[in-house]
Amino acid sequence: MVKKFKSIKNWENKNFDTIIDVRSPSEFASDHIIGAINCPVLSDQEREKVGNIYKKESTFKAKIIGSSLTARNIADHIEKNFLEQKGSWQPLIYCWRGGQRSKAFSIILSEVGWRTYQLDGGYKEYRNKVVKFFETIGSKLKIILISGKTGSAKTKILQSIGELGGQILDLEGLANHKGSLLGKIPGLEQPSQKLFESKLFNKLKQLNLKNNIYIEAESSKIGDVHIPKSIWAKMIISPRVEIKADLKLRANFLVKDYDYMCKNPELIYPLLNGLKKRLSKNLIDSWKDLILKKNWIELTESFLENHYDPSYTSNTIKNDMDTIDLLIHEQEDLYGKHPEQFVDFLDPDSKYIDRFRKLPKAIRTYIQEYAVNGKFMVREDIIDKVFGYRQLDITQMKVFIPIENILKIIKKSMPKNLNVFLLFKVIFLNK
């Protein structure tokens, strides 16, 4: 005897082979369960046609037309997508409310003999669960923010942390946007607000909420989508890892990172128009002149000085946290000409010795272990991955490192033969 399909509400407790969204393509594009495939029982045009017949002519006629279209489309989906599925295949079917569309698809698949499930309440039930999830999830997260001015390679550093085994949440990646005035990525549309939340919901479900999650410090809005309020509220009070790099370093990085705009400068002009209310006409005209001259470095430096950096200063998430500066200053040509020369902040006469003494014992022990003749050198693998191994590329860079997991993250790939010097700021977490 062929088993009938089962109706369930809690779909997350079961591993389905395939999740099938049978709503129209436009409904699916607006939002869907992440990982679902779209097998519409009615196209957008067919759905509109049936709806018009229902409203203007006859309910019964609408059912006849709708049923014939549905049967034809389901048969087409089976032939194109599911002919190779074994008898043990377990699909989950859903539509808008768990009504006729998903029921029709589920009946046919179950009659074939497949172990078919229908989502009770459909997409609406799923969406309600997502909304409730974001009402409280913020308070459960242990967030460490990756902060820094535009061009300090926060996203790439975040990705490198992930490569080293840390938990990351790439909000810009989920939003398909780089989070700035020039952040729109050509050829890549942003998801709707609901789809962004679905992607975020799916990602958070994969993370261990008992451990730290590294997130790039963002404004509450990334392009056209908003970070859920509970997560944003938690980000505001979370400890930060701040990346600091000088203007030229950031400008050089941005020119490489936004090379598609340098190759297609027509993409920049519309974005400049959005700044006319904030910045002077003379400044914007000077930028247009630099674009014509293809002077990308000077243009980018001016962008940073006149727009991005002031915005960062006014909008940066601020925390009332104590910081200790551990300064290792380097001249631009120090490594190339005199690699043996380093600033010695461990010396009793150094102006940095008091700051060193205030560090937790674990950090002091770590520094002393890697000190060479009292001179401390650090190779931080995350930074190296971003800016390369050329020493002059990281001149005057400053890095904030959280106390928590510092040894694990830094020492994991650090060789005894250290060759990079950085400016460290260690953040003490208020607990």
**Cβ neighbours, 10 Å, residue 372:** 12
| Pairing relationship of beta strands 221-222 and 212-216 according to DSSP bridges | unpaired
Q: Does residue 39 have an active-site annotation?
A: no
Q: Report the pLDDT averaged over residues 279-300.
A: 92
Burial class (CB in 10 A: 0-12, 13-18, 19+), 228: buried
d(CA 226, CA 171): 10
Helix axes of 229-236 and 122-136: crossing angle, nearest 10 degrees: 20
Give me the helices (H) in 21-89, please: 25-30, 44-56, 59-77
pTM value?
A: 0.73
Digit-coded pLDDT (tens) for 202-245: 999 999 999 889 899 888 889 999 999 889 888 877 777 767 67
Considering only residues 263 and 369, tell me which one the structure prediction assigns the higher pLDDT: 263
Query: What is the Cα 201 distance to its own chain's centre?
Result: 12
Q: What is the mean pLDDT of the chain?
A: 77
Catalytic residue, candidates 41, 42, 95, 141: 95
Helix (H) or strand (E) holding 215: strand 212-216
d(CA 380, CA 150): 21
- DSSP result, 335-400: HHH-TT----TTSTTSTTHHHHHTS-HHHHHHHHHTEETTEE----HHHHHHH-S-GGGGTT-EEE
Contact 67, 51 (CB under 8 A): no
| Pairing relationship of beta strands 423-427 and 323-326 according to DSSP bridges | antiparallel
Report whether pLDDT(153) > 90: no
Q: Which pLDDT does position 332 carry in this prediction?
A: 34
Residue type, 370: Y
Task: Calculate what percentage of the chain has a pLDDT beyond 90.
Answer: 42
Query: What domains appear along the chain, each with residue ranges and CATH number?
Result: 6-132 (3.40.250.10), 141-315 (3.40.50), 323-427 (no CATH)
Which of 10-24, 143-157, 407-421 holds the top average pLDDT? 10-24
Contact 343, 327 (CB under 8 A): yes
Which of 32-46, 146-160, 163-177, 399-413 holds the top average pLDDT? 32-46
Return the bridge partners of 94, or none: 21
HEC letters along 79-101: HHHHCCCCCCCCEEEECCCCCHH
Which of 116-125, 206-215, 338-347 holds the top average pLDDT? 116-125
